Amino acid sequence: MTTETNKPTVDTRWQSLNSDWANDKETFPMPWGKLMMWIFLLSDTFIFSIFLTGYMNVRMSATEPWPNTSEVFALTIAGQHIPLILIAIMTFVLITSSGTMALAVNYAYQGDRKKTFLLMIATALLGASFVGMQAFEWSKLIHEGVRPWGNPMGATQFGSAFFMITGFHGIHVSAGVIYLSIIANRVRKGHYEGKGYHIVEITGLYWHFVDLVWVFIFAFFYLW
């Protein structure tokens, strides 16, 4: 006569969906902050999607030729002209930072405060170097005459799409660097002993999302 005997041992995904929503309990069994971070990231997904869709719209309707990103973002390193190299380096820096963040989350749940702190600081430093490279890229393009209202290479819409999309992403990275530094310092001080280390996973969600957005910007803005 107990509910335990009737309970299926393995829930199918639909049964789990049904019981999560229908039973008189919390729908999402997870820390409040983690769920709120997910909801925020969902809303941020829409913001970046709308930026990228707007960019697609102005690019498809432009009658002037679109500047060749492969050449615009090329660099000459040691006499070698390498197309899109700066963006490739920025991509690798961001992926490296995502890796160190994933390890930080892992060590945080193992309770290794020192390693967590060091990996989070490494993540923040990689993020800061990404922003530094972006500042270099912006000043290079501004120097070459690219403005939100026009540029010497082709379609005027290139500048506005570029500054808006990479600028908004850069702000997210900068905010992430500050967020990571604050949480890392609190981890070092032992602020979360007893509370648990979900906060590191939540910070990680934000950081991986910033990397995720870059995957789409890289594909649609730089490789199109």
Contact residues: other proteins, CB under 8 A? 11, 13-14, 16-17, 20-21, 25, 27-31, 38, 42, 45-46, 49-50, 53-54, 56-64, 70, 83-84, 88, 91-92, 95, 98-99, 101-103, 105-106, 109-110, 198, 201, 204-205, 208-209, 211-212, 215-216, 218-219, 222-224
Nearer to other proteins, 189 or 224 (CB): 224
DSSP assignment of the chain: --HHHHS-SS--HHHHHHHHHHSSS-SS-S-HHHHHHHHHHHHHHHHHHHHHHHHHHHHHH--SPPP-HHHHT-EEETTEEETTHHHHHHHHHHHHHHHHHHHHHHHHHHT-HHHHHHHHHHHHHHHHHHHHHHHHHHHHHHHTT-BTTB-TTS-THHHHHHHHHHHHHHHHHHHHHHHHHHHHHHHHHTTTTTT-SHHHHHHHHHHHHHHHHHHHHIIIII--
Nearer to other proteins, 33 or 167 (CB): 33
Nearer to other proteins, 135 or 219 (CB): 219
Please state the closest distance from residue 53 (CB atom) to other proteins, in A. 5
Please state the closest distance from residue 175 (CB atom) to other proteins, in A. 18
Please state the closest distance from residue 139 (CB atom) to other proteins, in A. 23
Nearer to other proteins, 22 or 143 (CB): 22
